[in-house]
């Protein structure tokens, strides 16, 4: 037996029928990546500047032009560009951001010290050799050409110019490279709130000492010529005071 449903209500005209609102979630592989989000947040002029940094040398040259910040608060690469200012931490993150655009991993390394400030490098490997970029008020603690076979070799190249105002060599160790891609979802390129997570991740990486600490206490003082050369152009008010 067939049943028929008869409606006694007059349906509304088609012009008044609104289609249901359907929200399609963006698949993860279609969402903007960290570098795209960073570039989209820049002004047209800033974006052109950033895209022009197509070698590690040009990235370092840009870092050398921005003002130095010795504030206790840290910020992301986007804020560095907008403020045109940053310290060694911000400089390394910006350089790592630039490395990503060059198709290289966004790697940073922490240099650890005794009676001094620690230092952060952005590191990269070309043809099997390590190089580095960094923001520093000390001329000897900035970039290194990619000529070092191991990370320890690269770190030791900073040893002679890593000293405090008491003319003591202070570099003691270094971390394994941290790949910042692991923090892309935390938006380290564009969010100042994510920067504490970068510091925590660095703290949790494997660290190595360069030599026994008691050996470091027996090191001779930095000679006057090296000290004057290493302090060239340095603002002493922004240098670590023990």
Domain map of the chain by residue range? Answer: 33-238
Can you give the pTM of this predicted structure?
0.84
Report percent pLDDT > 90 for the chain.
75
Phi-psi region of 125 (alpha: psi -120 to 50; beta: other; left: phi over 0): beta
Separation in Å, CA 205 to CA 60, 111, 127, 223: 25, 12, 25, 34
Q: Which CATH code is given to the segment(s) 33-238?
A: 3.10.620
Q: What is the pLDDT along the chain (242 residues), one digit of tens a residue?
A: 444 333 434 555 555 555 443 333 333 334 469 999 999 999 999 999 999 999 999 999 999 999 998 878 899 999 999 999 999 999 999 999 999 999 999 999 999 999 999 999 999 999 999 999 999 999 999 999 999 999 999 999 999 999 999 999 999 999 999 999 999 999 999 999 999 999 999 999 999 999 998 888 889 999 999 999 888 877 666 665 55
Which of the 8 DSSP states describes residue 9? Answer: S
> What pLDDT does residue 132 have?
98
């Amino acid at each position: 037996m067939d049943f028929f449903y008869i409606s006694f209500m007059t349906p509304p005209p088609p012009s008044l029928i609104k289609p249901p609102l359907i929200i399609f979630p963006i698949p993860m592989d279609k969402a903007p990546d960290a570098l795209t989000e960073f570039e989209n947040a820049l002004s047209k002029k800033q974006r052109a500047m950033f895209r022009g940094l197509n070698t590690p040398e040009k990235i370092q040259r840009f870092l050398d032009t921005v003002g130095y910040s010795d504030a206790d608060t840290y910020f992301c690469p986007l804020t560095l560009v907008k403020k045109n200012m940053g310290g060694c931490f911000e400089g390394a993150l910006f350089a790592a951001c630039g490395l990503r655009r060059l198709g290289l991993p966004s790697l940073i390394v922490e240099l650890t010290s005794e009676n001094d400030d620690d230092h952060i490098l952005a590191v990269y490997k070309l043809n099997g050799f390590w190089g580095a970029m960094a923001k520093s008020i000390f001329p000897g603690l900035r970039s290194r050409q990619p000529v070092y076979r191991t990370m320890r070799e690269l770190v030791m190249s900073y040893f002679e110019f890593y000293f405090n105002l008491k003319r003591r060599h202070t570099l003691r160790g270094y971390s394994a490279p941290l790949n910042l891609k692991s923090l892309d979802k935390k938006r380290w390129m564009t969010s100042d709130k994510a920067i504490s997570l970068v510091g925590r991740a660095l703290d949790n990486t494997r660290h190595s000492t360069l030599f026994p600490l008691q050996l470091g206490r027996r090191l001779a003082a930095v000679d006057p010529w090296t000290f004057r050369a290493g302090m060239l152009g340095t603002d002493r008010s922004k240098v670590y005071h023990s």
